Amino acid sequence: MTNTIEDKGSRTEFNKLQKRLRRLTAQAITDYNMIQDGDKIMVCLSGGKDSYTMLEMLLSLQLSAPVKFELVAVNLDQKQPDFPEEVLPKYLTERGVPFYILEKDTYSIVKELTPEGQTFCAVCSRLRRGSLYGFAQEIGATKVALGHHRDDIMATFFLNLFHAGRNKAMPPKLLSDDGKNVLIRPLAYCKEKDIAEFAKLKGFPIIPCNLCGSQDNLQRGTINQMLRDWDLKHPQRLDSIFTALQNVAPSQLADRELFDFEGLELKRSTAVANAVPDPLKMVNILLN
C-alpha cells in the first residue's frame, strides 16, 4: 500500500475526510442496528475502492465500538482472466486481517449464460451472491458486509424507476430471501466521491473488474453519470434524494398493497356528515 499523503495540508484534509467517512459509517451502523455484540462479520472484499474503504472503516470502529465483533475478509475469485491472485492475500496479511479466498469459476458460467449483446450483471450478481451467502453460513458469519455506498443506493433506485417500473432501491440492512443471512451496507451514508478520494490517498491496490467493468452498454453507468452531473450543477440535489428515500409516505403514493386505499372512509360522525348548514347562519358568520 502506497502512502500518497505528503505535506501537512494534505494530511489535515485527509484526516478530515477519514473522520467524516468514519462518522457516517458509525451513524449508519447505529441507525440500522447493523452490528451486535458477538457478531462475526464477513467483509466481502472485491479489490475495489468501496470494499477496501469499508474494511478500513470497520477495522477503525472495531477498536472503539461499545460492542465486540469479529471481522473476516472474503474474496470471491471468479477466475476472470489476468486476475492478480496475489494482491489481496498480500494486502490482508500486511493488515493482519483474517481472510479466505473463495475460488469459483463463475466467469465461464456468466459468459456462457449471457446472450450476445446483453450485460453480465444479472447472472454475475446472482452467482456471486449464492456463493458468498453459502460460504457465510459455512464459516459461521452472522452478518455479510457489502461495500455499496450512498450513490449506489440512489443509482439502484433510478434504475428500478426508469427501467423496471418499481419504487425500490438498496436497503442499508436486509434479510436474504431464504432468511439465512443478514446483509449490511456500512457505507450507506458515504458519498462515492469521498470514498474515491480516500482510496486514492490511501493508495489501495485496486483490482479492476474485467467482466462487467469492461462493458460499455451498462445502464448503471448512464445513471451514475447523471448523478455526477446533478452533483456538479445542483450540489444539494443528491442529499435531498437520499433523504427522500428515508422519508416515504405510503398514503401519498399509489401502491394498493402498501396502503389500504379501498378502506379509506370518512372519520366524521354520521350526524355531522349528513348535517345541512343553515344558509342564514352561514351568512351571519361570514358578515361578523
Answer yes or no: is pLDDT of 3 > 70. no
Q: How many residues can be counted in the chain?
A: 288
Angle between helices 192-202 and 150-163 (to 10 degrees): 140
Greatest alpha-carbon pair distance for the chain in Å reads: 90
Give me the domains of the chain, ranges plus CATH numbers. 8-252 (3.40.50.620)
Give the whole-angstrom CA distance, residue 282 versus residue 58.
67
Assign 117 a pLDDT band (cuts: 50, 70, 90): low
Chain mean pLDDT for the chain: 87
Q: How high is the pLDDT of residue 113?
A: 58
Give the model confidence (pLDDT) of 26-55 as tens digits.
Answer: 999 999 999 999 999 999 999 999 999 999
Give the whole-angstrom CA distance, residue 56 versus residue 203.
12
Give the model confidence (pLDDT) of 183-242 as tens digits.
Answer: 999 999 999 999 999 999 999 999 987 555 444 447 888 999 999 999 999 999 999 999
CB 227 within 8 A of CB 154: yes
Q: Of 73-77, 103-107, 153-157, which gets the smallest average pLDDT?
A: 103-107
Answer yes or no: is pLDDT of 125 > 70. no
Q: Tell me, rounded to whole angstroms, the distance of Cα 19 from its chain centroid.
A: 20
Give the whole-angstrom CA distance, residue 22 versus residue 26.
6
Q: Of 132-146, 255-269, 270-284, which gets the smallest average pLDDT?
A: 270-284
Give the whole-angstrom CA distance, residue 145 versus residue 152.
15
Residue 73's H or E segment, with its range, is strand 70-77
Q: How high is the pLDDT of residue 221?
A: 86
Answer yes or no: is pLDDT of 271 > 70. no
Cα atoms found within 13 Å of the Cα of residue 38, Cβ hemisphere only: 1
- Strands of 143-145's sheet in order across: 99-103, 70-77, 40-44, 143-145, 182-184, 173-175
The residue whose grid cell reads 352561514 is 282
Give the whole-angstrom CA distance, residue 132 versus residue 150.
22
Give the whole-angstrom CA distance, residue 194 versus residue 239.
14
Which candidate, 243, 241, 262, 242, places its Cα nearest to that of 251? Answer: 262
Q: How high is the pLDDT of residue 215?
A: 45
CB 160 within 8 A of CB 168: yes
